[in-house]
Amino acid sequence: MLYETAAAWLAAPRKRVLFFGMSGLGKTYLASMLRGSGEWFHYSVDYRIGTRYMGELIADNFKREAMKVPFLRELLLSDSVYIASNITFENLAPLSTYLGKPGSETRGGLCFEEYMRRQGQHRAAEIAALLDTAHFIRRAQELYGVGNFVCDSGGSVCEVVDPFAATDPVLDALERDLLLVWIKGSDAHTEELVRRFDRAPKPMYYQPDFLDRAWTDYRVEKGLTGDEVNPDDFIRWTYARALAHRQPRYAAMARRGVTILAEDVAGVKTPDDLIRLLARAIERKEA
């Protein structure tokens, strides 16, 4: 680990961490809290994906839909209107909307081949954005004079690396530059995440093999063809299985860093609270 002892972590003049885990357990809350102190640089992997690597794809998708409306088509062709994504750290809806959901096109779904093509674009973008972390660590220090750094990774980070391998180019690079911190949820958190997702299902990135199996198993279980699939019902069905699929991958990643509990995150109000919480996590790792 970058900080092998709690003492080394506490004494470090520049603290660098990466949070990972399921969306909804506090990664962005902690990162935003640190950024708000004015002493930490906040690097959002999902924001980087949605702006630097997939921004043009997202905007073109908006334009593709707008071109179906005669009024907007004329304005676009005459360069009279400008359509762009307004993605922010807190609002990643443009990225989710582009990823889409497979199933019946009359219900807002995508054909499975197009859905998988966009999943592949996201995979490449996420890997690139993760590997950009070192650049932003230097940029934060050299441009803004901010040495403390927090990387807010997406929930799908465990899908684009091989956490079980002895070496992985992305994980090796991240481990070299940051303290990897798994925010681990309890069974109660998992149940709440499923309930929350059921109320407002949103597109996500998953491994191709996992999606292929899910797509086949869902259609066999329901007795449906691809164009009969309700997109929202499919991703609800898939999400609960994805939570179980990701847990061992997160746990394997955590061997390269430390683990904190989601319930402990709720008690963190200041950067000092977090620094002490991580010191205790490192102490447990030492033991």
Lowest mean pLDDT among 131-145, 186-200, 238-252: 186-200
Tell me what pLDDT residue 197 has.
Answer: 86
User: What separation in angstroms does the CA of 81 have from each of 54, 55, 200?
Assistant: 21, 18, 31
State what percent of residues in the chain have pLDDT above 90. Answer: 84
- Of 269 and 90, the one with more pLDDT: 269
The whole-chain average pLDDT of the chain stands at 94
Question: Residue 183: what pLDDT?
Answer: 97
Evaluate if residue 208 carries a pLDDT over 90.
yes
**pLDDT at 189 (0 to 100):** 83
Token pair 């205790």: residue: 280
Q: Which residues contact 248 (CB under 8 A, 6 or more apart)?
A: none
**What letter represents residue 202's amino acid?**
K
In this model, does residue 193 exceed pLDDT 90?
no
Task: Say how far apart CA 16 and CA 278 lie, in whole Å.
Answer: 11
What's the CATH architecture for 6-286? 3-Layer(aba) Sandwich (3.40)
For residue range 37-82, list pLDDT tens digits in order: 999 999 999 999 999 999 999 999 999 999 999 999 999 999 999 8
pLDDT for 148 beyond 90:
yes
Over residues 185-213, mean pLDDT:
87
| pLDDT for the residue 170 | 98
Residues 6+ apart with CB under 8 A from 285: 1, 258
**pLDDT value for 266:** 87
CB count within 10 Å of CB 81 equals: 11
Binned at pLDDT 50, 70 and 90, residue 24 comes out as: confident
What percent of the chain clears pLDDT 70, i.e. is strictly above it? 100
The pLDDT of residue 151 is: 98
pLDDT band at 229 (very low <50, low <70, confident <90, very high): very high
- With cut-offs at 50, 70 and 90, classify the pLDDT of residue 202: confident
The label of the residue with tokens 């807190």 reads 90
What amino acid occupies position 115?
Answer: Y
Residue 276 has which token pair? 């002490």
Q: Say which residue, 75 or 199, is predicted with more confidence.
A: 75
Residue type, 74: E
Q: How far is it, in rounded angstroms, from Cα 180 to Cα 171?
A: 9
Q: Where are the domains of the chain?
A: 6-286
Q: How far is CA 239 from the centre of its chain?
A: 14
Report pLDDT for 88.
87
* Average pLDDT score over residue span 212-238: 95
Structure tokens belonging to residue 46: 């999902």
